């Protein structure tokens, strides 16, 4: 999960008084909060949700689906 490496870099930063990660999908926010409550994410990291316009959200979903299809193994005949 790329977020884990981002969290590590965030923890290594010396200057911030607050550490937060802004997410654009509610399901990711819920997943991260669940990981945090389970002790798998440092408590000093705060997760925030930034809502994006519906048009952009649908374009991102389409791009994610396309990328997912690109990495799925192809079936052989």
pLDDT tens, position by position, 63-74? 989 988 888 887
Contact 16, 44 (CB under 8 A): no
Contact 43, 10 (CB under 8 A): no
Q: How many domains does the chain have?
A: 1
In degrees and rounded to multiples of 5, residue 33 shows phi and psi of: -65, -35
Assess if residue 3 is contained within a domain: no
Assess if residue 52 is contained within a domain: yes
Assess if residue 36 is contained within a domain: yes
* Owning domain of residue 28: 19-68
Per-residue pLDDT tens over the stretch 23-47: 998 999 999 999 999 999 999 999 9
Assess if residue 2 is contained within a domain: no
String of b and e for 7-43 (b: at least 16 CB within 10 Å)? beebeeeeeeeeeebebebeeebeebeebeeeeebee
Task: Report the number of secondary-structure helices (H) and strands (E) in the chain.
Answer: 3, 2
Assess if residue 11 is contained within a domain: no
**For the whole prediction, is pTM greater than 0.75?**
no
Assess if residue 63 is contained within a domain: yes
């Amino acid at each position: 999960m790329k977020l884990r490496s981002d969290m590590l870099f965030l923890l290594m930063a010396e200057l911030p008084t607050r550490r937060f990660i802004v997410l654009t999908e509610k399901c990711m926010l819920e997943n991260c909060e669940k990981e945090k409550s389970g002790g798998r994410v440092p408590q000093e990291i705060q997760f925030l949700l930034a809502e994006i316009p519906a048009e952009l959200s649908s374009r991102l979903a389409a791009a994610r689906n396309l990328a997912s299809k690109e990495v799925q193994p192809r079936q052989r005949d």
